[in-house]
């Protein structure tokens, strides 16, 4: 019985979730011999000697305390005589004799508690990596918020369909539709779960989440139509056309709001994954700078592992060792993700062994592909004679999907022109009454496949702006072929407000309606800019230019030229309707934020 009680105490003292006070140092032998008597105890102020206790098992090898001394509470000296070597424990134990809390109490914070910052209020789950415990908590809250938002969208869609078709009166005829409206949220949740819209690898960033929501919504509408036709159900078409699309649209909007809320939290340093980057110096520096600039990805680089003989990094980033020290670096940096960059030293066998070492603590392993800016939809793994081969599909520059994009662009431009007609009229009056010159500014731009067209914009500069360009060219603040000045003296006072909220670009809807531009695409360049393009940059001209794009929603003129080109090429290579929808939604927040608009 004494052995069981001692073992339980030892387990409790070594539990990382228990904060222990500092134990006073006592000079006890590290390995007392079994069956030792009073003569084996060292002299000291331990009180009167008592019969020794025969120890066995783990209790025979308990090391002495090594923590620094801690002042004892008042009155402890009077009880020290009672704290000699423990006696054999027999059941029942008298609780009054247990003075362990009083003996080892200290007002000073111990080292284990001081090592954790106050900004991490969590209790580690037993058997799980501490960083993974934190990540599991905020990811779980995010998924639960998604489920609640989808339920609200289903309730709203059912109420909208019922209200638009039947009004607010419940009759014997529409009672069945009332039941259908009540079941719609549950059915919507089931469809989204079958579409894998709650899997965490598709959430937080990227267009995969919205693609799965749209796919599930289309499948739900098609399933309802098929069941209605097969069972000859007399469903009101107005109810179906109002309830289901409104529910799917509400799901997309609410998920977008939750994601933007998550991105704002990540900008404040919350809900981030702690990442160890493994690779060569230049690759590590590049990925570190990019992730620090794009915080919404949620990856915070906290350390790196470099090849043997590396000279260090030029960024403020600790180096935890070589490729063999990755597992130890994860523990030291309290990381939960390891990103392995492309390098010849880490082949398939080395990455497999690293995955085995990280598996115990559930640390995520991410292998960066050498294929730059190629989306997962274009890559598939195909076996070839037992070897997995990565097959890369060509980008969708032609075909039926482009016809669908053309139709969406034309209809969207027509709808937006009707919606913004009062705004267009008001802006035109402001431009006309505040400065001399025409309301619209026409300029030659380069479109798809190098075709020339005239772009329409509200005039935001004075009439002689083009003539004064050479005088200001030495003040260019952009590092590429673009000419940008933050405080351009050629811009009118009204034009500054138009540029800040991108109202000067609304007339480009006429270019979209005529088929010269698209709602989403790369920025339309000037002929002089297109003439200075390198061969890789000319890839931007493979698609129609757009009113908005990845470059515009990621910082616009604040981005360096190389980053703007990379974003435009990413869009050209990985275009999809769902990506267009995401960019259009992000455009609204970019316009309100007005960062990089000058």
Mean pLDDT of 301-314: 84
Are 481 and 532 in contact by the 8 Å Cβ rule? The answer is yes
Q: Where is pLDDT greater, at 228 or 27?
A: 228
Q: What is the pLDDT of residue 133?
A: 66
Does the pLDDT of residue 226 top 50, yes or no? Answer: yes
What local confidence, expressed as pLDDT, does residue 556 receive?
65
Give yes or no for residue 209 having a pLDDT over 60. Answer: yes
pLDDT tens sequence across 107-117: 444 333 334 34
pLDDT average, residue stretch 427-444 = 91
pLDDT tier, 193 (very low <50, low <70, confident <90, very high otherwise): very high
**pLDDT tens-digit series, residues 447-456:** 998 999 999 9
Contact 320, 304 (CB under 8 A): yes
Angstrom distances, CA of residue 525 to CA of 199, 360, 478, 528: 40, 52, 15, 8
Which pLDDT score is estimated for 508? Answer: 95
The 3-state secondary structure of 92-132 reads CCCHHHCCHHHHCCCCCCCHHHHCCCCCCCCCCCCCCCHHH
pLDDT tens-digit readout, 469-502: 777 777 766 665 666 677 778 889 898 899 888 8
**What is the residue-averaged pLDDT of the chain?**
76
What pLDDT is stored for residue 129 in this prediction? Answer: 57
pTM of the model as a whole: 0.63
Q: What is the pLDDT of residue 596?
A: 54
Q: Does the pLDDT of residue 122 top 50, yes or no? A: no
Contact at 8 Å (CB) between 381 and 390?
yes
Is residue 47 very low, low, confident or very high in pLDDT (cuts 50, 70, 90)? very low
Q: Is residue 75 pLDDT above 60, yes or no?
A: no
Higher pLDDT among residues 26 and 557, named by residue = 557
SS (H, E, C) 544-573: CCEEECHHHHCCHHHCCHHHHHHHHHHHHH
Q: Which one has a higher pLDDT value, 103 or 219? A: 219
Instruction: Pick 389 or 70 by higher pLDDT.
Output: 389
CB neighbourhood size of 80 (10 A): 13
Mean pLDDT of 267-274: 89
User: Facing residues of 461 across strands?
Assistant: 491
Residue 71, pLDDT > 50, answer: no
Segments of 423-538 assigned E as strands: 440-446, 452-458, 518-520
Question: Comparing 4 with 552, which gets the higher pLDDT?
Answer: 552
Q: What angle do CA 145, 147, 150 make, to 5 degrees?
A: 110
pLDDT of residue 533: 86
| Averaged pLDDT for residues 266-273 | 89
Indicate whether 570 pLDDT > 80: yes
Distance CA 467, CA 55 (A): 96
**d(Cα 342, Cα 351) in Å, to the nearest integer?**
11
150 or 394, which is more confident: 150
Mean pLDDT of 249-277: 92
> Across 57-61, 308-312, 412-416, 547-551, which has the greatest mean pLDDT?
412-416
| 154 and 182 Cβ atoms separated by less than 8 Å | no
Provide the percentage of residues in the chain whose pLDDT is more than 70. 73
Q: Is the pLDDT of residue 142 over 60?
A: yes
Highest mean pLDDT among 31-45, 289-303, 475-489: 289-303
Neighbours of 362 (CB within 10 A): 15
pLDDT tens track for 361-420? 788 899 887 665 666 667 777 777 667 777 777 777 777 788 889 999 999 999 999 999
411 by Cβ neighbours in 10 Å (0-12 / 13-18 / 19+) ranks as exposed
**Token reading at 448:** 């798809």
Rounded to whole angstroms, what are the CA distances from 576 to 97, 338, 367, 402, 594?
A: 73, 30, 25, 9, 26
Q: What is the pLDDT of residue 186?
A: 94
112: left (phi over 0), alpha (psi -120 to 50) or beta: alpha
CA gyration radius for the chain? Answer: 34
485/477 Cα distance (integer angstroms): 6
State the pLDDT at residue 30. 42
pLDDT (mean) for 525-537: 87
Give CA–CA dist 281/304, Å, rounded: 9
Which of these ranges, 149-163, 392-406, 505-519, 571-585, has the smallest mean pLDDT? 392-406
Give the SS3 label for residue 275: strand
Place of tokens 């499948």: 219
Q: What pLDDT is stored for residue 245 in this prediction?
A: 92
Q: Report the pLDDT value the prediction gives residue 376, as an integer from 0 to 100.
A: 60
pLDDT above 50 for 236? yes
Ranked by mean pLDDT, which of 44-48, 353-357, 392-396 comes out on top? 353-357
- Residue 41, φ and ψ in degrees, nearest 5: -80, 140
């Amino acid at each position: 019985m004494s052995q069981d009680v001692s073992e339980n105490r030892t387990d409790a003292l070594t539990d990382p979730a228990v904060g222990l006070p500092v134990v006073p140092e006592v000079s006890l032998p590290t390995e007392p011999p079994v069956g030792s008597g009073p003569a084996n105890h060292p002299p000291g102020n331990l009180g009167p000697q008592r019969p020794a206790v025969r120890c066995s098992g783990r209790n025979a090898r308990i090391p002495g305390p090594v923590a620094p001394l801690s002042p004892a509470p008042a009155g402890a000296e009077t009880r020290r005589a009672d704290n000699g070597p423990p006696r054999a424990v027999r059941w029942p134990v008298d609780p009054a004799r247990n003075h362990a809390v009083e003996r080892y109490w200290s007002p000073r914070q111990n080292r284990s508690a001081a090592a954790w910052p106050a900004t991490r209020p969590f209790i580690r789950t037993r058997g799980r990596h501490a960083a993974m415990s934190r990540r599991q908590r905020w990811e779980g809250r995010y998924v639960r918020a998604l489920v609640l938002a989808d339920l609200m969208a289903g309730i709203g869609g059912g109420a909208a369909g019922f209200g638009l078709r039947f009004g607010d009166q419940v009759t014997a005829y529409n009672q069945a539709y009332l039941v259908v409206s009540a079941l719609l949220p549950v059915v919507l949740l089931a469809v989204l779960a079958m579409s894998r819209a709650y899997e965490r690898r598709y959430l937080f960033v990227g267009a995969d989440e919205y693609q799965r929501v749209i796919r599930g919504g289309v499948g739900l509408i098609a399933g309802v139509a098929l069941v209605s036709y097969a069972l000859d159900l007399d469903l009101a078409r107005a109810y179906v056309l109002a309830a289901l699309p409104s529910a799917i649209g509400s799901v997309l909007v609410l998920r977008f709001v939750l994601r933007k809320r998550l991105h704002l939290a990540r900008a404040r340093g919350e809900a981030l994954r702690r990442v160890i980057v493994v690779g060569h110096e230049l690759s590590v520096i590049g990925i570190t700078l990019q992730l620090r600039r794009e915080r919404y990805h949620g990856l915070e680089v906290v350390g790196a592992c470099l090849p043997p003989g590396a000279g260090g990094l030029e960024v403020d980033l600790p180096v935890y060792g070589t490729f063999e020290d990755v597992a130890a670096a994860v523990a030291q940096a309290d990381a939960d993700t390891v990103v392995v960059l492309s390098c010849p030293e880490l082949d398939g066998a080395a990455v497999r062994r690293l995955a085995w070492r990280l598996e115990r603590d559930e640390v995520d392993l991410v292998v960066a592909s050498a294929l730059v800016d190629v989306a997962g939809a274009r890559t598939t793994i195909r076996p070839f004679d037992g070897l997995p081969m990565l097959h890369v599909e060509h980008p969708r520059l032609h075909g039926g999907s482009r016809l669908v994009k053309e139709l969406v662009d034309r209809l969207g431009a027509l709808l937006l022109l009707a919606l913004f007609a009062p705004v267009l009229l008001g802006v035109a009056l402001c431009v006309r009454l505040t400065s001399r010159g025409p309301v619209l500014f026409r300029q030659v731009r380069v479109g798809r496949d190098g075709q020339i067209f005239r772009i329409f914009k509200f005039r935001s500069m004075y009439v002689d702006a083009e003539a004064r360009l050479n005088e200001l060219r030495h003040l260019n603040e952009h590092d590429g072929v673009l000419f940008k000045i933050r405080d351009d003296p050629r811009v009118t006072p009204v034009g500054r407000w138009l540029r800040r909220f991108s109202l000067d670009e609304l007339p480009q809807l006429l270019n979209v309606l005529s088929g010269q531009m698209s709602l989403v695409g790369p920025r339309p360049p000037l002929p002089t800019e297109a003439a200075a393009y390198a061969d890789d940059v000319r890839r931007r001209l493979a698609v129609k230019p757009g009113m908005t794009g990845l470059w515009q929603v990621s910082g616009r003129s604040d981005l360096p030229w190389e980053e703007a080109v990379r974003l435009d090429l990413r869009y050209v290579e990985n275009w999809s309707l769902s990506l267009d929808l995401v960019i259009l939604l992000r455009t609204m927040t970019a316009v309100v934020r007005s960062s990089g608009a000058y």
